[in-house]
């Protein structure tokens, strides 16, 4: 089943499917944690299933559905980087394109899903472009991406876009509650409204990592050793921590600008944040935010995370001393 916040996108694409007007390439774009890949899979299943229902959902019973469940359907292809942080290579794209040019084994559609399509390096993207320029009639390519701006415009312009935005807070909260997730509102704030990311936060160690980050920031504010706190943080997943640190600084900026009317990501820590407001200046906070943005852009480059955290925590300490 598709998620409740994807009904409009589902309805529209199903209408195209029913009318036999499926585009040759679709770019499914939007922030992480909303279920774009699940949507792509559901759509692929819907296209391959022999007896889908009136809403277009796959039956789960027919021969095609059984092959899909066993991950052996000969007309469904998935392509993604070997591991997170690696690129999708040109040879893999070439192989995929070759498969899409073969006759469909089941006489229906051939569907390829490219997961995190922005991981394609430039040669891979150029190779894909050739396939997009000379589409085969029954093949549909689905590019899933949370950073579509990283794809060449020549690729993007040849895809029909299906855009996903985070659902409204009420819908997301009720959905999380229906999955037995407690503290749904707080998790959603930390996940910037993305329901699946909120669920992942609770089901993984990420929430504990978030607590460790806040405790390090508060300890440094109380003059405790930067080096010691950096040791606590340097082995934790950097991208999440940098995002939350940025949220933390933005919360402080919001409190400077709007006082208690501010809507905070860290609403549960408003007391601690309020104590830090008189110790920081807006100029200092903006400067620190700049430093964080630069560090987030450098993330893919291997670096010494212990030193990075010492640097970030020392700057944080200075932010609180400069008023």
Q: What is the DSSP string of 77-88?
A: EEE--SSTTPPB
Pick the closest to residue 64 from 23, 26, 24, 108 (CA basis): 108
Query: In terms of CB distance, is 69 or 267 closer to Zn ion?
Result: 69
The answer to whether 141 contacts Zn ion (rule: CB under 5 A) is no
Find the part of the chain contacting Zn ion (CB under 5 A) among 7-15, 60-68, 226-234, 282-290: 60-68
Q: Tell me whether residue 106 or residue 240 sits nearer to Zn ion (CB atom).
A: 106
Binding flag, residue 140, Zn ion (CB under 5 A)? no
Q: Between β-strands 25-29 and 110-114, what pairing exists: parallel, antiparallel or unpaired? A: unpaired
Residues 164 and 39: beta-carbon distance below 8 Å:
yes
**Closest distance to Zn ion from the beta carbon of 65 (Å):** 3
Piece of 58-66, 102-110, 251-259, 297-305 that binds Zn ion (CB under 5 A): 58-66
* Residues in Cβ contact with 272 at an 8 Å cutoff, skipping those fewer than 6 apart: 214, 218
Q: Per DSSP, which regions of 103-244 are E strands?
A: 110-114, 139-145, 160-163
Would you say 58 or 111 has its CB closer to Zn ion? 58
Q: Which stretch binds Zn ion (CB under 5 A): 59-67, 138-146, 243-251, 282-290?
A: 59-67
Please, are residues 136 and 15 in contact by the beta-carbon 8 Å criterion?
no
| Residues between 28 and 57 that touch Zn ion (CB under 5 A) | 49
> Which lies closer to Zn ion via its Cβ, residue 47 or residue 117?
47
CB of 206 to Zn ion, least distance (A): 36
Rounded to 5 degrees, what angle do the CA atoms 280, 243, 296 make? 95
Residue 204 is classified by DSSP as S
Q: Which of 25, 65, 96, 292 binds Zn ion (CB under 5 A)?
A: 65
In terms of CB distance, is 72 or 170 closer to Zn ion? 72
Tokens for 215? 């405790």
Residue nearer to Zn ion on the CB measure, 65 or 216: 65
Decide: 148 and 156 in contact? Cβ < 8 Å. yes
Query: Residue from 17, 31, 38, 62 that binds Zn ion (CB under 5 A)?
Result: 62
Where do contacts with Zn ion occur on this chain (CB under 5 A)?
49, 58-59, 62, 65
């Amino acid at each position: 089943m598709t998620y409740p916040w994807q009904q409009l996108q589902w309805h529209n694409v199903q209408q195209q499917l029913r009318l036999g007007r499926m585009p040759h390439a679709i770019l499914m774009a939007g922030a992480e944690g909303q279920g774009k890949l699940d949507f792509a899979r559901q759509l692929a299943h819907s296209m391959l299933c022999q007896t889908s229902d009136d809403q277009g959902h796959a039956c789960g019973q027919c021969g095609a559905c059984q092959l899909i469940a066993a991950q052996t359907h000969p007309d469904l292809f998935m392509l993604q980087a070997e591991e997170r942080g690696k690129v999708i290579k040109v040879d893999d794209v070439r192989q995929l394109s070759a498969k899409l040019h073969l006759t469909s084994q089941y006489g229906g559609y051939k569907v390829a899903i490219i997961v995190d399509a922005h991981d394609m390096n430039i040669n891979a993207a150029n190779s894909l472009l050739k396939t997009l320029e000379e589409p085969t009639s029954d093949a549909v390519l689905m590019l899933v991406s949370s950073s579509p701006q990283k794809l060449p415009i020549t690729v993007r312009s040849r895809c029909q876009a299906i855009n996903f935005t985070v659902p409204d807070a009420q819908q997301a909260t009720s959905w999380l509650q229906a999955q037995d997730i407690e503290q749904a509102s707080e998790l959603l704030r930390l996940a910037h409204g993305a329901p699946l990311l909120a669920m992942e936060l609770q089901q993984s160690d990420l929430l504990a990592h978030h607590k460790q980050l806040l405790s390090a920031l508060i300890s440094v504010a109380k003059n405790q050793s930067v080096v010691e706190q950096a040791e606590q943080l340097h082995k934790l997943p950097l991208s999440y921590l940098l995002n939350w640190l940025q949220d933390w600084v933005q919360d402080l900026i919001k409190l400077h600008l709007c006082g208690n009317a501010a809507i905070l990501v860290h609403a549960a820590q408003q007391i601690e944040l309020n104590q830090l407001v008189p110790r920081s200046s807006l100029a200092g906070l903006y400067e620190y935010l700049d430093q964080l943005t630069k560090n987030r852009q450098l993330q893919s480059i291997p670096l010494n995370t212990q030193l990075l955290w010492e640097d970030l925590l020392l700057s944080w300490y200075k932010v609180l001393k400069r008023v």
